[in-house]
Amino acid sequence: MFFDFSNTRLFEYLPEIILPAVVSTLQMLFFSMLFGFVIGTLVAILLVMTSPYGLKPNPRFYKTLGFVVNMIRSFPVIILIVAISPVTRALVGTSVGEEAAIVPLTLAAFPVIARYMEASLQEVNPDVILAARSFGASNSQIMFKVLFSEALPSIVSGLTTTTILFLASTTLAGAVGAGGLGAVALTYGYQRFDDLMMYAIVVILFVMVLAIQGIGEIIYRKVKNKGAVGK
């Protein structure tokens, strides 16, 4: 038979191995997205400010920052994890485990978030920016009261996509010692020929993707159809 479900230890492992792995995957995802969002937002603001059509054009700065962002983006996540392990060790004291994986995942996530956000902010109707300048708004007022406010739905959908993308990356991190669902699927499923175990984890990941997408869509609809948030 193609699949062999006869000798599975799935039900035995469910509470003691899989459940903790779900928690640690979610932790890795949450913190790498959180830090990636903070750094990515800062970078996006700098990119939008200094772009040739920006509020304070600075072509040299824009090009340099863009170059750095592109360079980091060109690293496959799995290579990035290995490549920056000395930095990781310096930051969190170890280069293996969930906490250690958050460092390279953050590093991989922030350029993606920054570029998505840059694109969202640049989609805002340029006349709206002109209008804001025409009544004397300062650059930071234009940035936060106009651009971020207008681009919010688009930013939300970009973040949803990025989060799902990095759920896959956290499982990759499992391959190089980070733990989480990826590691479990690999070591307890694939390497022990326990197919049910492996596919059960794929199903769990699938459910997580659906949940992230669903939550993202709910937030998107909320910010898109409603005016100010919390009104």
Partner 1 sequence: MIKVQKLYKAYSGINVLTDINLHVRKGEIFGIVGQSGAGKSTLLRCINGLETFDRGKMIVNDTDISLLSEKEIRLFRQKIGMIFQSFALLNRKTVLENVMLPMECWNYSRVKMQKRAEELLDLVGLSGKLQSLPHELSGGQKQRVAIARALTLEPDILLCDEATSALDPAITKSILELLAAVNRQMGITIVIVTHDMSVIKTACDRMAIITGNRIAVEGAVTDVFLEEPPDLIELVGRQEIVAPPGRSIIKLSIRDSEINQSFLYSFASSLRVDFSIVSANIEQLNQKSFGHLYLSVADENVAQTMAYCEQSGMECSVFLPAARAGGDRHVL
Interacting residue ranges for partner 1, rule: CB under 8 A: 125, 127-128, 130-138, 141, 145-146, 149-150, 152-153, 223-224, 226-228, 231
**How many Cα atoms within 13 Å fall on the side-chain side of residue 94?**
8
Integer Cα distance of 106 and 117 in angstroms: 16
Tokens of 225: 């159809």
CB of 156 to partner 1, least distance (A): 12
| Residue placing its CB nearer to partner 1 in the complex, 93 or 126 | 126
Q: What is the CB neighbour count within 10 angstroms for residue 78?
A: 15
| Residue placing its CB nearer to partner 1 in the complex, 137 or 175 | 137
For the chain, give me the number of helices (H) and strands (E)?
11, 0
CB of 221 to partner 1, least distance (A): 13
Residue-wise burial string across 44-68, b where 16 or more C-beta atoms lie within 10 A, e elsewhere: bbbbbbbbeebbeeeeeebeebbee
CA torsion through residues 92, 68, 123, 132, sign:
positive
| Residue placing its CB nearer to partner 1 in the complex, 20 or 57 | 57
- What is the longest distance spanned by two Cα atoms in the chain? 73
| Residue placing its CB nearer to partner 1 in the complex, 76 or 126 | 126
| Residue placing its CB nearer to partner 1 in the complex, 5 or 144 | 144
| Residue placing its CB nearer to partner 1 in the complex, 9 or 133 | 133
CA geometry: angle at 199 spanning 20 and 23, to 5°? 15
